Amino acid sequence: MLSGYRLEVIVGCMSAGKSSELIRRIERARLAYLPTIIVRPITDTRSKPNHVESRNGLTSHALVVESARDILKYSSHAVVIGLDECQFFDDELIPVVQTLLRQKKKIIASGLDLDYKGETFGQVPTLMAMADRVDKLLAVCRKCGSDFACRTQRLVHSDEQILVGDCQYEARCIHCFEPPGEYQLRLELPLAETNPPQLAIVQGPATAATVAS
Ligand SMILES: [Zn+2]
């Protein structure tokens, strides 16, 4: 039986290094001859078929499944199980993870904790609550260059929660993150040369100055 952490969760925004950290931890287990697998949902199309791929070029073989239930089909011989892009797994992920934990397996799960709106994404928050170790990785903000990017800014118009493609997103810190409504509004309606509305607050008898506009 393995000692130490049993459910490790790696979260963060895009470009924070989640997949490379997942691959690093799985490779570390492989060096100790522990049987490992990495599983990812079919929704993630960034990686090559049957691989998990990080943006810095690390790759590892991965099983691609259509539903979270399918993880159990491949996990019987594995001792350490990596789950990548967990935000795209269906709701069955949680009972599947509970089953794997009862089977005394070690799980290392990674995924986006927040979607493009800055709202919680899929089953990842529940995994974080269940985990005995959570690492929230930060990226470098593409707008201001700070080391504290924790939001994924969508750069195109779409109200779909899932829209796969690196060029449609960038990592932003919380100060530079623009919620989609505000961002799309700015794109559609570039600032016009209008004077701000004049506001006169009248207390007591109006004077010439307060009603001048
Ligand atoms: Zn920033």
Q: How far is the CA of 150 from the centre of ligand 1 (A)?
A: 9
Q: How far is the CA of 206 from the centre of ligand 1 (A)?
A: 45
Q: Terminus-to-terminus CA distance in the chain, angstroms?
A: 78
Q: Please give the model's pTM, rounded to 2 decimal places.
A: 0.82
**Which domain, by its residues, includes 116?**
7-137
- What does the pLDDT look like over 58-117, one tens digit per residue? 888 899 999 999 999 999 999 999 999 999 999 999 999 999 999 999 999 999 999 999
Q: How far is the CA of 56 from the centre of ligand 1 (A)?
A: 21
The pLDDT score that the predictor gives to residue 49 is 76
Domain total in the chain:
1
Does 117 fall in a domain? yes
- 65 three-class SS: strand
178 is catalytic: no
Does 167 fall in a domain? no
- Structure tokens, 106: 């070690």
Ligand 1 ion: Cβ-proximal residues, 5 Å cutoff: 141, 143-144, 146, 173, 176
Contact 132/161 with Cβ under 8 angstroms?
no
Contact 97/107 with Cβ under 8 angstroms?
yes
Q: How far is the CA of 132 from the centre of ligand 1 (A)?
A: 30
- Compute the Cα dihedral for 117, 121, 126, 129 and give only its sign: negative
- Structure tokens, 76: 């019987």
- Which of 8, 21, 53, 85 is catalytic? The answer is 85
The CATH number of whichever domain residue 19 belongs to comes to 3.40.50.300
